[in-house]
């Protein structure tokens, strides 16, 4: 299995009306710190100046930053799916997605890299927001509780002991199983993370006879911050519950 997560990694950054939150300085710092990192910024039909902002940023580092523009707003799931497929076509060994607000700081890539090196068979590494003393996991208390409730339901749905399915920082080995898992649009708009993990679980089982527990590694983050300006609302939590039921029913097909 190919190693060196940081050697050839492309991160997809879904951007929907991010003109005000986009912090070019932090992206520039990440490119300087991680020479094997490339970025693919996906503008998902934003109605603000996102397009101009990300184009201007990409122009500062044309060999390492690309942009993709979806004509109309299709939602994070579709933006990430299109971005990951484009990143794979670009030849990256590892591809992933990372929230534009940098709630997960790019410094966490160090922990992802250590985890990949430690787990020889890792094919998917996902950030996990575990609130332990000595770490800076700064979550709004209501969202923390709802998030824990949802995560538990998601874990039951997947029949996988995943602690945190919803962190916006995830990295995958760019192989055929991932490509197949990305072929069809996701049924869910908000919890496509769960759907993707389920598709990978099924794909790995089919191709290797082993379930996701053999290949999926959760990376406990040292720092994570709830960034203001989220587009997720209370009703999305209810919708997410309904979407879990749909995902579960698909597994049994
Ligand atoms: N493509 C796309 N991305 C979105 C949409 N809504 C949010 N995002 C992106 O998803 C990421 C997380 O969004 P955010 O609003 O911070 O959600 P939260 O952190 O989960 O509350 C950011 O990169 C957003 O730009 C959307 O409708 N389409
Ligand atoms: Mg956020």
Helix intervals (H) in the chain: 24-33, 50-59, 76-89, 109-118, 141-158, 176-181, 192-208, 234-251
Kindly report the protein residue whose alpha carbon is nearest to atom 25 of ligand 1.
15
Kindly report the protein residue whose alpha carbon is nearest to atom 13 of ligand 1.
230
Q: What is the pLDDT of residue 33?
A: 98
* Of the candidates 16, 222, 224, 218, the residue with the CA atom closest to the CA atom of residue 102: 224
What residue segments make up the domains of the chain, in order of their start? 9-251
Q: Which atom of ligand 1 is nearest to the CA of 79?
A: 1
Residue of 18, 78, 101, 127 best suited for mutating to test ligand 1, as the one with most atoms within 8 Å of CB: 101
- Provide the residue-wise pLDDT of the chain in tens; the chain has 253 residues: 445 999 999 999 999 999 999 999 999 999 999 999 999 999 999 999 999 999 999 999 999 999 999 999 999 999 999 999 999 999 999 999 999 999 999 999 999 999 999 999 999 999 999 999 999 999 989 989 999 999 999 999 999 999 999 999 999 999 999 999 999 999 988 899 999 999 999 999 999 999 999 999 999 999 999 998 887 777 888 888 889 988 888 876 6
Q: What is the pLDDT of residues 61-120, one digit of tens each?
A: 999 999 999 999 999 999 999 999 999 999 999 999 999 999 999 999 999 999 999 999
Q: Which atom of ligand 1 is nearest to the CA of 78?
A: 1
What's the rounded Cα separation, in Å, for the pair 214 and 211?
6
Question: What value does the mean pLDDT of the chain take?
Answer: 95
- Which pTM does this prediction carry? 0.96
Task: Determine the topology of domain 9-251 in CATH.
Answer: Spore Coat Polysaccharide Biosynthesis Protein SpsA; Chain A (3.90.550)
Pocket (CB within 6 angstroms of ligand 1)? 14-16, 18, 44, 73, 75-76, 79, 99-101, 103, 168, 230-232
Distance 46 CA to ligand 1 centre (A): 11
Alpha carbon of residue 104 to chain centroid: 10
Ligand nearest to the CA of 69: 1
List all residues 6 or more positions away from 118 whose beta carbon is below 8 Å from its beta carbon. none
Neighbours of ion ligand 2 (CB under 5 A): 101, 103, 227, 230
């Amino acid at each position: 299995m190919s190693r060196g997560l940081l050697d050839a990694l492309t991160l997809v950054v879904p951007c929907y009306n991010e003109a005000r939150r986009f912090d070019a300085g932090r992206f520039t710092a990440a490119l300087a710190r991680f020479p094997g990192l490339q970025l693919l910024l996906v503008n998902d039909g934003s109605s603000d100046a996102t397009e101009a902002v990300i184009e201007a940023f990409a122009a500062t580092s044309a060999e390492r930053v690309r942009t993709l523009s979806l004509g109309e707003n299709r939602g994070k799931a579709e933006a990430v799916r299109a971005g990951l497929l484009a990143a794979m076509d670009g030849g990256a060994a590892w591809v992933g997605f990372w929230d534009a607000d940098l709630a997960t700081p790019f410094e966490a890539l160090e922990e992802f890299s250590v985890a990949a090196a430690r787990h020889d068979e890792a094919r998917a590494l996902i950030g996990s927001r575990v609130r332990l003393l000595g770490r800076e996991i700064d979550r709004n208390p209501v969202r923390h509780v709802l998030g824990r409730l949802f995560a538990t339901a998601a874990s039951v749905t997947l029949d996988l002991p995943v602690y945190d399915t919803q962190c916006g920082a995830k990295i995958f080995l760019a192989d055929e199983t991932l490509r197949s898992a990305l072929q069809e649009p996701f049924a869910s708009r908000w919890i496509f993370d769960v759907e993707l993990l389920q598709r990978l679980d099924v794909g790995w089982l089919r191709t290797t006879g082993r379930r996701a527990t053999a290949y999926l590694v959760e990376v406990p983050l040292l720092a994570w911050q709830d960034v203001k300006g989220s587009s997720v609302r209370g009703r999305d939590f209810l919708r997410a519950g309904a979407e879990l039921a749909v995902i579960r029913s698909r597994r049994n097909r």
